Amino acid sequence: MSEFIFDVDGTLTPSRGTIDPEFKEFFMDFAKKNNVYLVTGSDRPKTIEQIGLDAYSLCKRVYNCSGNDVYEGDNNITHSKWVLPEPAHEWLTTQITESPWDILTGKHFEHRTGMCNFSVVGRNANTEQRKAYYEYDCKYEEREMIAETFNHIFPDLNADVGGETGIDIFPRGKNKAQILNHFIKDDIKFFGDRCEEGGNDHPIARELYPYQVHKVNSWRDTWRLLKPAGRLSDG
């Protein structure tokens, strides 16, 4: 039987947003009939805010914080205590002041279990500000350049682009791909929106590419792929 693994942000929900009610109803029914897992850079409270505790609880296991904070139901079975080293924090802070982007909203660092999310625009940005920065980043690839330089300067750490405005940072090897140790790879069907090199879904997608990876651009793509007419084979 297939194991369905889903990213959340941009795959099941809009970026930083909540799941569409109709899609949620469909997804919950799907989770009742299949082995469903989540892997997300967000922490447990944010994931529950996005998809609801009812949908969260139907998943066999949820790998929050890129697999560094793992839940089976209400049981927390893995919890990393890693924190971002000060030199890395200082270097990232300089990227805020040196960025041409001038709309800064605060909360540029969000420390999560086993990882840190960094954002030039800041995590206090509203939807319009996030969209504006995302369009700027698509044109100038600022996050990709920051992540690439960071990975060169701090070889024991890893930075991957995630969502519309963030960069996920964690110890090298502690990215989403670490969860694959819990599965038989041939049984996995993975859905994610940032599967390209440098994206935070890329480490896991790289291990499963091409036949078990389903790159989506939004939750609507995920729904279309899972609907009975376009249902992926369990074979």
- Sequence-ordered alpha helix ranges (H) in the chain: 21-33, 44-51, 53-58, 86-98, 127-140, 142-153, 202-208, 219-226
- Please compute the mean of the pLDDT values over residues 124-128 and round it to a whole number: 94
Confidence at residue 232, expressed as pLDDT on a 0 to 100 scale? 62
Q: What pLDDT, in 10s, does the model give residues 21-51?
A: 999 999 999 999 999 999 999 999 999 999 9
- Please compute the mean of the pLDDT values over residues 153-179 and round it to a whole number: 94
The domain segmentation of the chain, as residue ranges, is 3-79+174-230, 86-171
- Please compute the mean of the pLDDT values over residues 149-177 and round it to a whole number: 95
- Whether 155 has a pLDDT exceeding 70, the answer reads yes
Q: Among residues 218, 225, 235, which one has the least CA distance to residue 30?
A: 225
Q: How far apart are CA 172 and CA 155, in angstroms?
A: 8
Q: How far apart are CA 159 and CA 148, in angstroms?
A: 8
- Please compute the mean of the pLDDT values over residues 138-150 and round it to a whole number: 97
H/E run at residue 68? none
Please give the C-alpha separations between residue 228 and each of 26, 29, 112, 224, in angstroms, as whole numbers: 11, 12, 37, 9
CATH architecture assignment, domain 3-79+174-230: 3-Layer(aba) Sandwich (3.40)
Q: What pLDDT, in 10s, does the model give residues 73-101?
A: 999 999 999 999 999 999 999 999 999 99
- Please compute the mean of the pLDDT values over residues 59-66 and round it to a whole number: 97
Q: Among residues 61, 24, 7, which one has the least CA distance to residue 215?
A: 7
- Whether 224 has a pLDDT exceeding 60, the answer reads yes
Q: Are 7 and 39 a contacting pair, CB within 8 Å? A: yes
Q: In this structure, which CATH number among 3.40.50.1450, 1.10.10.10, 2.60.120.620, 3.30.1240.20 belongs to the domain 86-171?
A: 3.30.1240.20
